[in-house]
Structure 1
Amino acid sequence: MLQSIELTVNHEKRRIYVRPADTLLHTLRENLGLTGAKPGCENGDCGACTVLFDQRPMKSCLVLAMESENHEIITIEGLHQTSIQKAFIDEFAFQCGYCTSGFIMNCYALAAHHPNPDDYQIKNWLQSNICRCTGYEEIKHAITKVLKQQ
Structure 2
Amino acid sequence: MNRDWKKVPVSVDAAFSCLGTTRKDAGSAEAFRKVDLEYVTKFAELAKDAGIPYFGLLTASNANKDSWFLYPQTKGEVEENVKELQFERTSIFRPGLINRGKLARTVESIAGYLLPSITTRAIAKGMVVDYESGDKGLREWSNADLKKHEVATAVTEKQSEL
TM-score (norm 1): 0.28
Q: Of the two structures, which has the highest relative contact order with CA contacts closer than 8 Å and spacing of 6 or more?
A: 1
The structure having more radius of gyration, on CA atoms, is 2
* Structure with a larger share of its residues in helix: 2
